[in-house]
């Protein structure tokens, strides 16, 4: 049997098990979200709207569960081959452990290319639209416009928010803000534009404001303007996508804007480097588990080897997330804090592979 056929057979086995694991984990994740969303059902946000929201956010859930699916699916696929002594046959055909490992990792990388493409080009827009449409159905106060803009009705004001910048759980900064102040007959009487805006719960704070009076065409500018608001901050927090769900190009652009404005860039730094090293972390999870598959293939204890491999891979995932969270307080560059766990686990994987 040629090396090409063996490679195709190995890749197909791994891909099938990764796909099946994705479907199972995605079903469990979706069921949990159904239970959570069902608590918020109302006359305007009914079962149809809930199912549409869940459908639009399915790619995001797939992205979230993919590291676990890649780990478990790869081990199950290789375990099935090992239990049928097919890994031994591949070794006899000339595939050593390094060649098998390289082909397994290449297969996982093909899946990663698809998942990362979704994270860059599909998930951000779908997630933003889904959250905005859910809030529109629940409250009727929020509308998602083109180019990621939000439109809101707030008392006598119609507010258009250009981009939302996530500072922390309690604070959002909005840029490219447009406000129409309406008179009693619901016609615009004043138009305000602002470079930045904050919502404090009872007020809008606008910075670098320019205004125009519609009736007499008067123009003016102010450093700041305070507008009363009847909206709640939860309206925005539920609708605005977190940094981790944004595309890398948007994360880079937001970080540059925050840096120019003298604001804290750490939420976007953390999200950027987590996304940047996502493929490496997934490959490291799979790599650290492979020695236990090869070891179990020799000793006949496939179940124990698979279990240890899964546990070790999941432990690495937890450690990598903790390291990314602790990067804000460690005296290391954030990119190095995000990269270090993967480098350590790859070194451990190489050591374990050599000891087999």
287 and 206 in a common domain: no
If one counts the domains in the chain, the total is: 2
Tens digits of residue pLDDT in 213-268: 887 777 888 888 899 888 877 777 766 778 888 899 989 888 888 888 777 888 88
- Is the pLDDT at 147 greater than 90? The verdict is no
143 pLDDT above the threshold of 50:
yes
**CA distances (Å), origin 31, targets 5, 56, 120, 188:** 39, 15, 25, 46
Residues 57 and 155 in one domain: no
Is residue 177 included in any domain, yes or no?
Answer: yes
Is 136 domain-assigned? no
Q: What are the C-alpha distances in Å from 11 to residues 29, 276, 333?
A: 26, 25, 37
User: Cβ–Cβ contacts within 10 Å for residue 69, how many?
Assistant: 23
Neighbours of 219 (CB within 10 A): 9
Q: Indicate if 148 and 189 belong to the same structural domain.
A: yes
State the number of CA atoms in the 13 A half-sphere of 57 facing the CB: 26
Whether residue 258 is contained in a domain is answered as: no
Asked whether the beta carbons of 276 and 248 are under 8 A apart, the reply is yes
Q: Which residues form the domain of 161?
A: 142-241
Tens of pLDDT, residue by residue over 35-88, are 999 988 887 788 899 999 999 999 999 999 999 999 999 989 988 888 888 887
Query: Is 263 a domain residue?
Result: no
Distance between CA atoms of 138 and 292, rounded to whole angstroms? 50
**148 dihedral zone (left: phi>0; alpha: psi -120 to 50; beta):** left
**Element at 36 (helix H, strand E):** helix 3-38
Single out the residue of 208, 196, 202, 210 nearest to residue 227, CA to CA. 202
């Amino acid at each position: 049997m040629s090396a090409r056929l063996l490679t195709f057979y190995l890749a197909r086995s791994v891909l099938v098990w990764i796909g099946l694991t994705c479907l199972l984990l995605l079903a469990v994740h979706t069921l949990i979200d159904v239970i959570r969303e069902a608590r918020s059902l109302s006359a305007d946000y009914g079962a149809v709207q809930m199912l549409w929201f869940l459908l639009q956010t399915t790619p995001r859930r797939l992205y979230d569960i993919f590291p676990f699916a890649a780990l478990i699916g790869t081990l199950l696929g290789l375990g099935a081959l090992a239990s049928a002594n097919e890994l031994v046959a591949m070794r006899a055909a000339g595939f050593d452990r390094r060649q098998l490992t390289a082909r397994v990792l290449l297969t996982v990388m093909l899946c990663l290319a698809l998942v990362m493409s979704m994270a860059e080009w599909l998930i951000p827009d779908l997630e933003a639209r889904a959250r905005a449409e859910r809030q529109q159905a629940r409250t009727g106060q929020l509308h998602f416009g083109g180019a990621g803009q939000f439109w809101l009705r707030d008392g006598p004001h119609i507010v258009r928010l250009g981009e939302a910048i996530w500072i922390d759980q309690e604070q959002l900064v909005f840029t490219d803000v447009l406000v129409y102040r309406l008179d009693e007959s619901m016609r615009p009487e004043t138009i305000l534009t602002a470079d930045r805006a904050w919502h404090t719960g009872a007020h809008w704070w606008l910075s670098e404001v320019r205004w125009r009076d519609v009736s007499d065409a008067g123009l003016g500018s102010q450093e700041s303007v305070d507008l009363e608001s009847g909206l709640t901050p939860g309206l925005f927090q539920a609708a605005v996508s977190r940094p981790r769900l944004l595309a890398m190009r948007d994360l880079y652009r937001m970080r540059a804007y925050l840096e120019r404005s003298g604001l804290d860039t750490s939420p976007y730094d953390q999200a950027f480097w987590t996304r940047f090293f996502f493929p490496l972390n997934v490959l490291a999870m799979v790599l650290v588990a492979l020695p236990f598959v090869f070891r179990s293939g020799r000793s006949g204890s496939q179940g124990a080897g698979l279990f240890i491999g899964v546990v070790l891979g999941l432990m690495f995932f937890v450690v990598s997330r903790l390291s990314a969270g602790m990067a804000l307080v460690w005296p290391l560059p954030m990119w190095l804090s995000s990269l270090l766990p993967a480098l350590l686990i790859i070194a451990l994987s190489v050591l374990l592979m050599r000891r087999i």
